[in-house]
Structure 1
Amino acid sequence: MVTKHEDGTVATRQEQKLKPPPMYQVFLLNDDYTPMEFVVAILQEYFNKDREAATQIMLKVHRDGKGMCGVYPKDIASTKVELVLTHARKAGHPLQCMMEEA
């Protein structure tokens, strides 16, 4: 960007390139106690998954020990982790939810 001042001098300003904020993946971790149906309900409620997508993620968690629920900016990912953990504890389930930088 070029700016011409009243005294005739010209100033150029470099456009700053803003990096997009880092994104975070949110995962559910398998345990031997949380019912599969509860995991499906969590995925539908907090991650807006339809029943089929929620079931597929739940099966991945069950088979592989970990399944990704979505990718979000840090604040949203952190909030989702806290909401899931709070809901699971209130329901008496040890379901674990975590986030890591994508």
Structure 2
Amino acid sequence: MAGKDITKKADRLVLDAATKTRPEINYPTKWGFKIIGRNKEALEKCIKYIMKETGDKDHVCTLGNKSKTGKFHSFNASCTVDTEEERNKIFKYFEEHDDVDMVI
């Protein structure tokens, strides 16, 4: 992203050089994940699998965009997370899954 300085310091995310404090998130909260990969069907299965593995989470999953070449697809998945640890756990499951190229 042009113009944004995204750096990770210790365990807190700093969105830009001017933001020095971590945003306050009150849990439980609905949290969204954008999952990007090459195989649309595999991504959808991956989302269902991870939501089941991380506590049988009720979730909403919608098809996002596909790249101009059709090589990449995205899904928007959201669920209620009870803690920051749970949110990070779900993110890590997506991040480490073979069918996921990127999670935001």
* TM-score of the aligned structures, taking structure 1 as reference length: 0.45
Greater share of residues in strand:
2
Higher Cα Rg, which structure: 1
Structure with greater helix percent: 1
